[in-house]
Amino acid sequence: MISFVSVNWLAILVSGIVSMALGFLWYCKPVFGSKFMKLCGMDKMSPKEIKAMQAGMGVTYVKAFISALIVSFVLAQLIGLLQITSIVDVLSLVVLLWFGFAYTTGLNNVLFEKKNRQLFFIDTGYSLVQYALIGIIVVLMA
Protein backbone atom coordinates (compact mmCIF):
# COMPACT_ATOMS: atom_id res chain seq x y z
CA MET A 1 0.00 0.00 0.00
CA ILE A 2 1.36 3.39 -0.97
CA SER A 3 1.33 5.99 1.76
CA PHE A 4 0.55 9.53 0.77
CA VAL A 5 3.17 12.10 1.59
CA SER A 6 2.28 15.53 2.83
CA VAL A 7 2.39 18.16 0.14
CA ASN A 8 2.68 21.91 0.05
CA TRP A 9 -0.89 22.88 -0.87
CA LEU A 10 0.23 26.36 -1.85
CA ALA A 11 2.61 24.76 -4.39
CA ILE A 12 -0.31 22.71 -5.75
CA LEU A 13 -2.43 25.86 -6.10
CA VAL A 14 0.41 27.85 -7.71
CA SER A 15 1.07 24.94 -10.08
CA GLY A 16 -2.58 24.87 -11.10
CA ILE A 17 -2.58 28.59 -11.80
CA VAL A 18 0.70 28.38 -13.73
CA SER A 19 -0.71 25.46 -15.76
CA MET A 20 -3.71 27.56 -16.74
CA ALA A 21 -1.49 30.50 -17.66
CA LEU A 22 0.70 28.19 -19.75
CA GLY A 23 -2.39 26.84 -21.51
CA PHE A 24 -3.56 30.36 -22.26
CA LEU A 25 -0.18 31.23 -23.78
CA TRP A 26 0.38 27.87 -25.52
CA TYR A 27 -3.00 27.90 -27.24
CA CYS A 28 -3.20 31.63 -28.03
CA LYS A 29 -3.30 32.48 -31.72
CA PRO A 30 0.29 33.77 -32.10
CA VAL A 31 1.80 30.62 -30.56
CA PHE A 32 -0.12 27.42 -31.43
CA GLY A 33 -3.72 28.65 -31.25
CA SER A 34 -4.31 29.30 -34.95
CA LYS A 35 -2.80 25.96 -35.95
CA PHE A 36 -4.67 24.18 -33.14
CA MET A 37 -8.02 25.66 -34.18
CA LYS A 38 -7.43 24.73 -37.81
CA LEU A 39 -6.42 21.15 -36.93
CA CYS A 40 -9.51 20.79 -34.71
CA GLY A 41 -11.79 22.19 -37.40
CA MET A 42 -12.72 25.22 -35.33
CA ASP A 43 -11.85 27.52 -38.23
CA LYS A 44 -14.85 26.08 -40.10
CA MET A 45 -17.35 26.61 -37.30
CA SER A 46 -20.36 28.82 -37.89
CA PRO A 47 -20.86 31.92 -35.72
CA LYS A 48 -23.71 30.09 -33.99
CA GLU A 49 -21.45 27.11 -33.17
CA ILE A 50 -18.72 29.44 -31.89
CA LYS A 51 -21.18 31.28 -29.67
CA ALA A 52 -22.50 27.99 -28.25
CA MET A 53 -18.96 26.79 -27.57
CA GLN A 54 -18.00 30.07 -25.89
CA ALA A 55 -21.09 29.92 -23.66
CA GLY A 56 -19.75 26.77 -21.96
CA MET A 57 -16.15 27.92 -21.59
CA GLY A 58 -16.49 28.90 -17.92
CA VAL A 59 -17.29 25.32 -16.96
CA THR A 60 -14.56 24.06 -19.28
CA TYR A 61 -11.96 26.28 -17.59
CA VAL A 62 -13.07 25.14 -14.13
CA LYS A 63 -12.71 21.49 -15.19
CA ALA A 64 -9.30 22.22 -16.75
CA PHE A 65 -8.18 23.91 -13.51
CA ILE A 66 -9.31 20.90 -11.46
CA SER A 67 -7.41 18.66 -13.86
CA ALA A 68 -4.28 20.80 -13.42
CA LEU A 69 -4.64 20.56 -9.63
CA ILE A 70 -4.89 16.77 -9.88
CA VAL A 71 -1.78 16.56 -12.06
CA SER A 72 0.03 18.84 -9.61
CA PHE A 73 -1.02 16.76 -6.61
CA VAL A 74 -0.02 13.44 -8.19
CA LEU A 75 3.32 14.79 -9.37
CA ALA A 76 3.95 16.26 -5.90
CA GLN A 77 3.20 12.82 -4.42
CA LEU A 78 5.74 11.15 -6.72
CA ILE A 79 8.34 13.83 -6.00
CA GLY A 80 7.81 13.34 -2.28
CA LEU A 81 7.82 9.54 -2.41
CA LEU A 82 11.02 9.56 -4.46
CA GLN A 83 12.49 12.29 -2.22
CA ILE A 84 13.46 14.42 -5.19
CA THR A 85 14.96 17.75 -4.19
CA SER A 86 16.80 18.98 -7.29
CA ILE A 87 15.49 20.53 -10.47
CA VAL A 88 17.64 18.21 -12.59
CA ASP A 89 16.16 15.14 -10.89
CA VAL A 90 12.60 16.44 -11.14
CA LEU A 91 13.05 17.20 -14.84
CA SER A 92 14.38 13.68 -15.38
CA LEU A 93 11.27 12.30 -13.64
CA VAL A 94 9.00 14.57 -15.66
CA VAL A 95 10.49 13.47 -19.00
CA LEU A 96 10.17 9.83 -17.97
CA LEU A 97 6.54 10.25 -16.91
CA TRP A 98 5.67 12.30 -19.98
CA PHE A 99 7.29 9.83 -22.36
CA GLY A 100 5.81 6.80 -20.59
CA PHE A 101 2.27 8.14 -20.24
CA ALA A 102 1.32 11.34 -22.09
CA TYR A 103 3.38 10.69 -25.23
CA THR A 104 2.40 7.03 -25.56
CA THR A 105 -1.28 7.62 -24.82
CA GLY A 106 -1.40 10.44 -27.34
CA LEU A 107 0.49 8.33 -29.87
CA ASN A 108 -2.13 5.59 -29.58
CA ASN A 109 -4.75 8.20 -30.47
CA VAL A 110 -2.75 9.00 -33.61
CA LEU A 111 -2.25 5.36 -34.52
CA PHE A 112 -5.70 3.94 -33.82
CA GLU A 113 -8.03 6.93 -34.02
CA LYS A 114 -6.16 8.57 -36.89
CA LYS A 115 -5.80 11.80 -34.91
CA ASN A 116 -3.69 14.46 -36.54
CA ARG A 117 0.06 14.18 -35.84
CA GLN A 118 0.57 17.93 -35.69
CA LEU A 119 -2.20 18.22 -33.10
CA PHE A 120 -0.53 15.38 -31.18
CA PHE A 121 2.74 17.33 -31.02
CA ILE A 122 1.00 20.55 -29.94
CA ASP A 123 -0.90 18.79 -27.16
CA THR A 124 1.87 16.51 -25.91
CA GLY A 125 4.34 19.41 -26.07
CA TYR A 126 2.03 21.33 -23.77
CA SER A 127 1.91 18.38 -21.38
CA LEU A 128 5.70 18.15 -21.25
CA VAL A 129 6.14 21.84 -20.47
CA GLN A 130 3.24 21.75 -17.98
CA TYR A 131 4.73 18.79 -16.09
CA ALA A 132 8.15 20.44 -16.07
CA LEU A 133 6.79 23.68 -14.63
CA ILE A 134 4.76 21.82 -12.00
CA GLY A 135 7.79 19.76 -11.00
CA ILE A 136 9.99 22.83 -10.70
CA ILE A 137 7.39 24.68 -8.63
CA VAL A 138 6.87 21.73 -6.29
CA VAL A 139 10.63 21.27 -5.74
CA LEU A 140 11.30 24.98 -5.26
CA MET A 141 8.41 25.42 -2.83
CA ALA A 142 9.21 22.30 -0.77
Fill in the DSSP letter of residue 30.
I
pTM for the whole thing?
Answer: 0.93
The pLDDT confidence band at residue 136, using thresholds 50, 70 and 90, is: very high
The pLDDT value recorded for residue 48 is 87
Q: Count CA atoms within 13 Å of residue 41 on its CB side.
A: 4
Q: For 9-67, what is each residue's pLDDT tens digit?
A: 999 999 999 999 999 999 999 999 999 999 998 889 888 888 888 888 999 999 999 99
The pLDDT value recorded for residue 82 is 96
Q: φ, ψ for residue 68 (rounded to 5)? A: -65, -35
| pLDDT of residue 125 exceeding 80 | yes
User: For the chain, what are the domain ranges?
Assistant: 9-140
